[in-house]
Structure 1
Amino acid sequence: MMSEHTIYIDMNPSAEVMERVLRVTRHRGFAVAQMQMQCLGGNSEMAVTVVSERPIEQLTRQLDKLYDVNHCRLAPAVAASAAAMA
């Protein structure tokens, strides 16, 4: 069953970090459904919504290990919980 998840990534602003994030996402079998990025002072924050049948924890662990990524966190699955209750 395909699942949709949003990941928030706090990272150092560099030209290569977005490319690294997208490459790891694709290599781990996830498709990007939506992406948004903003610069906040000395850091950048990226919100990426991905879709896949694979476990999301695998992707978040790999993204956390990337150079220039400070922290990666998974958004609460509010929409998925609401849909399951309906």
Structure 2
Amino acid sequence: MIQHQVNVAARYNPETLERVLRVVRHRGFQVCSINMETTSDAQNINIELTVASPRPVELLFSQLKKLVDVAHVAIRQNTTTSQQIRA
């Protein structure tokens, strides 16, 4: 599976994190790690997700940027965690 690091900047609302995680799950991605921090003004949040899936990360990117509270989505890196060996 390929891992992708996704950064999401959004407005701070109680339901924002739940919406982001629901989109990740519905698009067939598995959350490997998550980190969320509020900004200094406590009105915005930064969410860093490491997700894994054989599916293209563009599917997730296009859905996350459509969420109402999301201001910015960025994909930072791709890494392979397991390799398929064909006989």
- Shorter chain as normaliser: what TM range? 0.7 to 0.9
Structure richer in strand, relative to its length:
2
Aligned residues with identical type, % of pairs: 40
How many pairs does the alignment contain? 78
Greater length-normalized contact order (CA 8 Å, ≥ 6 residues apart): 2
CA distance in 1, matches of 2:27, 2:75: 16
1:14-25 pair list within 5 angstroms = 14-25=13-24
Q: Over alpha carbons, which structure has the higher Rg? A: 2
Partner Cα distance (2:77, 2:57) in 1: 12
Structure 2 unaligned spans of 5+: 81-87
Alignment partner, residue 35 of structure 2: 36
Distance 1:25 1:67 in 2: 15
In structure 1, runs of 5+ residues without a counterpart are 82-86
1:57 aligned partner: 58
Letter in 2 for 1:30: F
TM-score by length of 1: 0.86
> Which protein has the bigger helix share?
1
How high is the TM-score relative to the length of structure 2? 0.85
Ranges of 4+ aligned residues in structure 1 off by more than 4 Å: none
